[in-house]
A and B are shown apart, each in its own frame.
Chain A
Amino acid sequence: TQLLEQSPQFLSIQEGENLTVYCNSSSVFSSLQWYRQEPGEGPVLLVTVVTGGEVKKLKRLTFQFGDARKDSSLHITAAQPGDTGLYLCAGDLNDYKLSFGAGTTVTVRA
């Protein structure tokens, strides 16, 4: 059983559309991170959120951390083909070891 439930597993959208990926858990995390991974590469850190209710924006990407620090979402506005990749959420239970969600494969069609 995965500690972090990530949904949806797959997302295929047209360029210009918006998308949201969710990560949910019954556990409280000291921090939660979002990564993007492309084939043949390791995951690349997008953002770390540590405060309940925190919202971070990175250009067209908006990240939210739930008030109770159990869930998070990633929202992409006006998606572009360059946003295509595997998106992973990962939580730290205050022991520096990351537990990863199952991942969301995002495909943005031109």
Chain B
Amino acid sequence: SAVISQKPSRDICQRGTSLTIQCQVDSQVTMMFWYRQQPGQSLTLIATANQGSEATYESGFVIDKFPISRPNLTFSTLTVSNMSPEDSSIYLCSALVRATYGYTFGSGTRLTVV
């Protein structure tokens, strides 16, 4: 199955600043996803990022706050903009591997906004 390298693994940021999270997949994948997770809790889908089209956002998430790039079939970034303490969370990317119909996840970015 595909392997995703996600970075940074953690960061502490000042409120009002922005952080860009990167995910690199070791094979070409059509669909990538971005999630948010509070420690020990479930995952909430932020958006779907398909190469060659605009990301589609779930209810409660907007492009101005979470701009996403998907320049090719192996890479995606999520930016958390104008951060506030409420944005403190774990952010995860995921890719759908169609051959196995399995979803692979990055190891997550633990973000703390102070």
Which A residues have a C-beta under 8 Å from some C-beta of B?
A: 2, 31, 33, 39-45, 48, 50, 86, 88, 90, 96-103, 105
Asked whether, in the complex, the Cβ of A88 is within 8 Å of the Cβ of B105, the reply is no
Given A96-B96, A97-B48: A2 and B42 within 8 A (CB)?
yes
Query: Per-residue 0/1 for B1-34: is the Cβ within 8 Å of any A Cβ (1 yes, 0 no)?
Result: 1001010010000000000000000000001010
Given A31-B101, A42-B92 in contact, is the A97-B108 Cβ separation under 8 Å? no
Q: Which residue of B lies closest to A50 (CB)?
A: B101
Cα distance, A73 to B36, chains bound together (Å): 25
Q: State the B residues within 8 Å of A (CB).
A: 1, 4, 6, 9, 31, 33, 39-45, 48, 92, 94, 96, 101-108, 110
Q: Is the CB of A45 within 8 A of B104?
A: yes
- Hey, which chain B residues are within 8 Å of A33, CB to CB? 102-103
Contacts of B106 in A (CB 8 A): 42
The smallest C-beta distance from A20 to any residue of chain B, in angstroms, reads 19
Cβ–Cβ < 8 Å partners of A90 in chain B? 43, 103
CB distance from B47 to the nearest CB of A (A): 10
A-B contact list, 14 entries, CB within 8 Å: A40-B108, A40-B110, A42-B106, A43-B43, A45-B1, A45-B103, A88-B43, A90-B103, A96-B48, A97-B33, A100-B42, A103-B40, A103-B42, A105-B40
